[in-house]
């Protein structure tokens, strides 16, 4: 899966974008995504008035909006009819699902809102929502209240984590294990790859209830209903017992109590697995995580070293941190067979 990183844009466009204009251009593209301009123009050309009617954009605002997208190399125009360029068609339609378009543009809007108070956040230590006096629900609360958000988020991550899942399945040897608990397992994308690579393995995906509904559909379409079961639960509470692998993948900061719960759930000889784009021990990598932390509600920066020492302090042995691929790391620890 390819993202529309800046190197995909025409050079003559990038050459005109200083930092301020870059910010405005970025916001403009997000508006186009949110309004679903590229999906509307998928495989066809339309007059500006028809685009305006379809997307409910005022005629007075249309020319600057559409022509700026032409300037960015995302739309082309002839005789007042607009269409997607190949760039827009590839990266904003072909490479992403409707779930991705909806969820990602929503997350971007929330990030812009948070960024408007960045200096104050830095100087007061408060988060953007506190400064604006409007407490925002966490993404988990938002999904619990709104099933469409649960579906958009989960389907987006299913798409987004596919390559990570394939890399993890190549990296992690679970040939000697039978029962995996995928804590906060979302769409089940990791479990799907792991059970496919290990024919003796079955998995339970522990998730909030609205996500479980989406996961069930994904697992059914993957033909793995018998081997992967979603189960509603809270990942911060004691975990169901009797698993010989407990995995936390991209679930945010992994606290010592969570690892302690994993210990309690594991059978003797079992394995705890933490997978994420963890911060390097000096905190300077990975860049996309660092930038994300400036707009997120959590200021906690869990490093690989933090997770490894929390595992050791819970009693796990042979704790190892290894790079899976790109910025993705896997930290494992073994519960001794006898203790």
Ligand X SMILES: C[S@@+](CC[C@H](N)C(=O)[O-])C[C@H]1O[C@@H](n2cnc3c(N)ncnc32)[C@H](O)[C@@H]1O
Burial class (CB in 10 A: 0-12, 13-18, 19+), 287: exposed
CA distances from 158 to 33, 155, 188, 212 (A): 20, 5, 8, 13
Q: Let me know the angle formed at the C-alpha of 169 by 207 and 242, rounded to the nearest 5 degrees.
A: 50
Query: What are the distances in angstroms from CA 164 to CA 8, 131, 152, 241, 332?
Result: 22, 36, 19, 27, 17
Cα separation of 169 and 328, whole Å?
13
CA–CA dist 16, 72 (Å, integer): 10
Q: In the complex with ligand X, which residue's Cβ is closer, 184 or 333?
A: 184
The distance of closest approach from Cβ of residue 185 to ligand X in the complex, given in angstroms and rounded to an integer, is 5
**Size of interface with ligand X, in residues (CB under 6 A):** 19
Distance in Å, CB of 296 to ligand X, minimum: 12
Closer to ligand X by Cβ: residue 33 or 151: 151
| Continuous segment of H or E residues that includes residue 170 | helix 162-171
Q: How far is the CB of 73 from ligand X (least distance, A)?
A: 32
Chain positions 159 to 198 lying near ligand X, rule: CB under 6 A, are 161, 184-187, 189-190
Helix (H) or strand (E) holding 127: none
Contact letters (x/-) for ligand X, 222-261, by CB under 6 A?
------------xxx------------xxx----------
Cβ distance to ligand X smaller for residue 188 or 270: 188
Cβ distance to ligand X smaller for residue 172 or 208: 208
Q: What residue number has its CB nearest to ligand X?
A: 186
Q: By rule CB under 6 A, what string of x and - marks binding of each residue 122-141 to ligand X? A: ------------------x-
Q: Which is nearer to ligand X, 92 or 248 (CB)?
A: 248
Residue 32 vs 328, nearer CB to ligand X = 328
Backbone angles phi, psi at 292, to 5 degrees: -60, -35
Provide the 8-state DSSP code for 93. Answer: I
Interacting residue ranges for ligand X, rule: CB under 6 A: 140, 143, 157, 161, 184-187, 189-190, 207-208, 211, 234-236, 249-251
């Amino acid at each position: 899966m390819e993202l529309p990183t800046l190197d995909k844009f025409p050079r003559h466009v990038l050459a005109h974008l200083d930092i301020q204009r870059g910010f405005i251009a970025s916001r403009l593209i997000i508006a186009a995504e949110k309004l679903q301009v590229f999906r509307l123009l998928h495989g066809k050309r339309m007059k500006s008035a028809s685009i305006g009617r379809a997307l409910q954009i005022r005629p007075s605002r249309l020319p600057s909006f559409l022509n700026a997208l032409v300037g960015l190399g995302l739309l082309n125009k002839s005789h007042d009819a607009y269409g997607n360029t190949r760039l827009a068609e590839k990266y904003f339609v072909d490479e992403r699902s409707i779930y991705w378009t909806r969820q990602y543009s929503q997350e971007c809007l929330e990030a812009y809102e948070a960024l408007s108070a960045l200096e104050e956040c830095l100087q007061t230590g408060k988060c953007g929502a506190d400064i604006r006096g409007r407490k925002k629900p966490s993404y988990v609360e938002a999904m619990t209240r709104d099933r469409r958000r649960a579906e958009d988020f989960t389907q987006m991550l299913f798409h987004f984590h596919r390559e990570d899942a394939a890399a993890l399945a190549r990296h992690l040897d679970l040939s000697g294990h039978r029962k995996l608990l995928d804590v906060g397992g979302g769409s089940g994308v990791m479990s799907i790859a792991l059970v496919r690579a290990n024919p003796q393995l079955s998995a339970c995906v522990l998730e909030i209830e609205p996500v479980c509904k989406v996961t069930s559909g994904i697992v059914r379409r993957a033909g793995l209903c018998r081997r992967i079961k979603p189960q509603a639960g809270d990942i911060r509470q004691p975990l169901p017992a009797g698993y010989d692998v407990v995995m936390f993948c991209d679930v945010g900061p992994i606290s010592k109590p969570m690892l302690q719960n994993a210990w309690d759930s594991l059978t003797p000889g079992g394995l705890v697995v933490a997978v994420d784009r963890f911060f390097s021990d000096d905190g300077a990598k990975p860049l996309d995580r660092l930038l994300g932390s400036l707009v997120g509600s959590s200021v906690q920066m869990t490093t690989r070293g933090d997770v490894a020492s929390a595992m050791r302090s819970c009693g796990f042995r042979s704790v190892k941190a290894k790079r899976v691929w790109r910025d993705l790391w896997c930290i494992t620890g073994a519960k001794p067979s006898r203790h």
